[in-house]
Amino acid sequence: MKIQHLPLIEKRPLSSIADGRPATLLTTEPVWHLTKDAIDINPKRTIYVDRATVDYMDGLIPLCEGEVVYGVGGGLAIDAAKYVASKCAMPLIAVPTILSTDAFLTDATGVRVGGCVRYLSSKPPELVIVDIDVLRSAPPAMRASGAADVLSIATGMWDWQEAERLGENPPDYHVTPQAIEIGKAILQTLLDNAREIGKGTPEGLTILLELLCMEVQLCYLCGHSRVEEGSEHHFVYALENRLTGHALHGDLVGLGILLMSSLQSQTWHRYRHALDCLNINYRPAAVTTEAIIDTLVSLFDYVHHHQLPYTIAAGLAITQDVAEATVAAVLD
Ligand SMILES: [Zn+2]
């Protein structure tokens, strides 16, 4: 058995970074505008990442030059940097400027293929540099967005256990009691600290960083992501095809958690309270009520078409009436 491990993480100010090696930098324009004066690196090539498709990522590979790759920003930039560094066999240093996803900890790169999400194997960073003051200065509505990928344990773990009960888990995906207990502890710690995390205090953001580490480490122990990726993520992948503009992954996942936990007959109010405390906007502007209802009604076909792992979405064909009532309840 081989268990992947988390990357080395150093908590220190961005101003402590001084790296003269020629580098390929993957970032986004607004992030680099705000951070370039604080980081002393030597980019020979700067790439502003704006998409997550396979063709786009493959197109970045020939642009790679120098001795080291830097990924600076949120999930999009760092996921692309992981892919490029892996394909070019170069060391990668990740500098998350926002805790919007767990991408800076993982060894795979999420891409959109044919209206769904697939994970390409890439690699984890050799080093992650975290400046808590930088994370704190991110806009409150985005700062703790990655907490949604911890809260998704609430619905993902329910789905995983339901799949086990129905004999739908393949041999390598069986539920173990210890994974469930650890998952519950991570989820409860998030619920207990949601207000502090949402306030963006150093303590709160440190807790969120550690919860993201624990969630990723638990997935590595299990050998898959079922503990935190279930019907709420499948709903998001389907909904992404109906967005009228950009939306944060965490906001969409927050919405998915509310809808799916309600359909799972869970006490979803506590999850909505947590999302409110975390400043996660589960009513993103790019999502219409019609889009949510259409996504729910077609979700059964969607998850079967894309052969996604068994969740409540694969077992329950949601009617128009149920979809409308669920949306009305969780977004009242
Ligand atoms: Zn996610």
With a cut of 90, say whether residue 2 has pLDDT above it.
no
Go through the chain and tell me how many residues it has. Answer: 332
- Predicted confidence at residue 1, as pLDDT, reads 76
Top pLDDT among 332 and 210 is at 210
- Cα of 330 vs centre of ligand 1, distance in Å, is 20
CA distances from 199 to 78, 95, 101, 213, 241 (A): 25, 22, 18, 20, 32
For the chain, the structural domain boundaries read 8-136, 141-330
- Cα of 22 vs centre of ligand 1, distance in Å, is 32
Helix, coil or strand: residue 43? strand
With a cut of 90, say whether residue 103 has pLDDT above it.
yes
- Cα of 36 vs centre of ligand 1, distance in Å, is 28
For residue 281, give the amino acid letter: N
Helix, coil or strand: residue 217? helix
pTM of the model: 0.95
- Cα of 317 vs centre of ligand 1, distance in Å, is 23
Top pLDDT among 145 and 332 is at 145
With a cut of 90, say whether residue 287 has pLDDT above it.
yes
- Cα of 331 vs centre of ligand 1, distance in Å, is 21
Helix, coil or strand: residue 27? strand
DSSP letter for each residue of 61-77: GGG--SSEEEEEESHHH
- Cα of 250 vs centre of ligand 1, distance in Å, is 7
For residue 47, give the nearest of 34, 35, 59 by alpha carbon. 59
Q: Which residue bears the tokens 């502090």?
A: 196
**What confidence tens digit (pLDDT) does each residue in 150-209 have?**
999 999 999 999 999 999 999 999 999 999 999 999 999 999 999 999 999 999 999 999
Q: What is the mean pLDDT of residues 22-49?
A: 96
- Cα of 148 vs centre of ligand 1, distance in Å, is 7
Joined tokens for residue 60: 């970045």
- Cα of 135 vs centre of ligand 1, distance in Å, is 19
Joined tokens for residue 13: 């100010």
Task: Report the run of H or E that residue 120 belongs to, with start and end.
Answer: strand 116-121
* H helix intervals, 125-201: 132-136, 140-143, 148-151, 153-165, 177-199
**What confidence tens digit (pLDDT) does each residue in 218-257 have?**
999 999 999 999 999 999 999 999 999 999 999 999 999 9
CATH number (1.10.390.10, 1.10.1060.10, 1.10.3720.10, 1.20.1090.10) of 141-330 reads 1.20.1090.10
CATH architecture of 8-136: 3-Layer(aba) Sandwich (3.40)
With a cut of 80, say whether residue 263 has pLDDT above it.
yes
d(CA 258, CA 267): 10
β 108-113/116-121 pair status = antiparallel
Matching fold, domains 8-136 and 141-330:
no
- Cα of 118 vs centre of ligand 1, distance in Å, is 12
- Predicted confidence at residue 250, as pLDDT, reads 96
- Cα of 105 vs centre of ligand 1, distance in Å, is 13
